[in-house]
A and B are shown apart, each in its own frame.
Chain A
């Protein structure tokens, strides 16, 4: 099975003052990533958005790899993001309500490479003024990666969890044209797609933060 991972950061929910404190961001970024920001990125992205962009990429990579290594522990500084390239030009608009697609326009995304030990993964991230959304894939080609991002009014975690499942299932029913799909979790708490009590070979990833929910999946059927 192929993998996938995604993560959302609602930028309205971040504590900017704390984010910019070295004691905080040094637990997320490596020294090399901090240097990379100062040398290559500070003219196109604020420090706080850069930190949370890398957080979302690293968390997405963790979700991707956790599927194959359920005992994996998320230590952000051990996921190294390199070669980060900004979109041209950098978008300056709000997200809106819903965006979804198959693949990305790479001219509109932040493009990165993640290494964790001997693993190499690839990330594409959408950055708006109010939210950022990252998806990680095993290859540079995201053409088979489906994704969706949606604004919601409810910030209760239980309701977010239900809404993101509905959001993903609506898309899966449309793409796979299979009825009665369900989303569950396996013994390692990783989300899986289920049909008649059997796990399907479709890698899925869910995320929610504050007023946003998102998914990614790769159809291997």
Chain B
């Protein structure tokens, strides 16, 4: 799965938790989940749980710590998917 594939699916994971739909459409690696997308910090746990379910992966605490922007979210998901191979 390419980074672009993950990005496309990640938008669907994030969508329920942001009201900033305009920015969501144009997100890139630097987009910050809290500062840019205005996602409540409590919903970051939801995003991690939803990503785990969508990709059938487990995201540990240390990996979750890194998921502050879109790029690091893709890094973590990509890493966990590669570990399944």
Chain A residues whose C-beta falls within 8 Å of the C-beta of B19 in the assembled complex: 156-157
Interface residues on A, range: 20 to 34
Interface residues on B, range: 10 to 19
Chain A residues whose C-beta falls within 8 Å of the C-beta of B54 in the assembled complex: none
**Cα of A177 to Cα of B61 in the assembled complex, Å:** 45
Residue of A nearest to B61 (CB): A75
Shortest distance between the CB of B64 and any CB in chain A (Å): 7
Cβ contact of A27, chosen from B35, B40, B41, B45, cutoff 8 A: B45
**Cα of A34 to Cα of B61 in the assembled complex, Å:** 17
Task: Render A17-35 as a binary contact track against B, CB cut-off 8 A, 1 for contact.
Answer: 0100001100110000000
Pair B52/A23 contact, Cβ less than 8 Å:
yes
Contact (A73, B65) CB under 8 Å given A157-B19, A209-B40: yes
Q: Which of B14-39 contact A (CB under 8 A)?
A: 19, 35, 38
Residue of A nearest to B39 (CB): A157
Chain A residues whose C-beta falls within 8 Å of the C-beta of B61 in the assembled complex: 27, 75, 77-78
Verify if A139 is at the interface (C-beta below 8 Å from B): no
Verify if A74 is at the interface (C-beta below 8 Å from B): yes
Pair A189/B49 contact, Cβ less than 8 Å:
no
Verify if B79 is at the interface (C-beta below 8 Å from A): no
Verify if B46 is at the interface (C-beta below 8 Å from A): yes
Residue of B nearest to A21 (CB): B49
Pair B49/A24 contact, Cβ less than 8 Å:
yes
Cβ contact of A28, chosen from B35, B40, B45, B65, cutoff 8 A: B45
Pair B42/A9 contact, Cβ less than 8 Å:
yes
Pair A23/B38 contact, Cβ less than 8 Å:
no
Residue of B nearest to A55 (CB): B42
Shortest distance between the CB of B65 and any CB in chain A (Å): 5
Pair A18/B38 contact, Cβ less than 8 Å:
no
Cβ contact of B48, chosen from A27, A52, A73, A209, cutoff 8 A: A27
Cβ contact of B49, chosen from A27, A73, A158, cutoff 8 A: A27
Task: Render A60-90 as a binary contact track against B, CB cut-off 8 A, 1 for contact.
Answer: 0000000000000111111000000000000
Pair B64/A27 contact, Cβ less than 8 Å:
yes
**Cα of A78 to Cα of B60 in the assembled complex, Å:** 13
Residue of A nearest to B58 (CB): A23
**Cα of A18 to Cα of B64 in the assembled complex, Å:** 18
**Cα of A189 to Cα of B36 in the assembled complex, Å:** 12
Cβ contact of A23, chosen from B41, B42, B49, B64, cutoff 8 A: B49
What would be 7 A-B contacts, judged by CB atoms less than 8 Å apart? A9-B42, A27-B48, A27-B64, A73-B65, A75-B64, A157-B19, A189-B35
Binding site for A on B (CB under 8 A): 19, 35, 38, 40-42, 45-46, 48-49, 52, 61, 64-65
The 7 A-B pairs at the shortest CB distance, nearest first, are namely A157-B38, A73-B65, A27-B45, A75-B61, A75-B65, A24-B49, A77-B61
Binding site for B on A (CB under 8 A): 9, 15, 18, 23-24, 27-28, 52, 55, 59, 73-78, 156-158, 189, 209
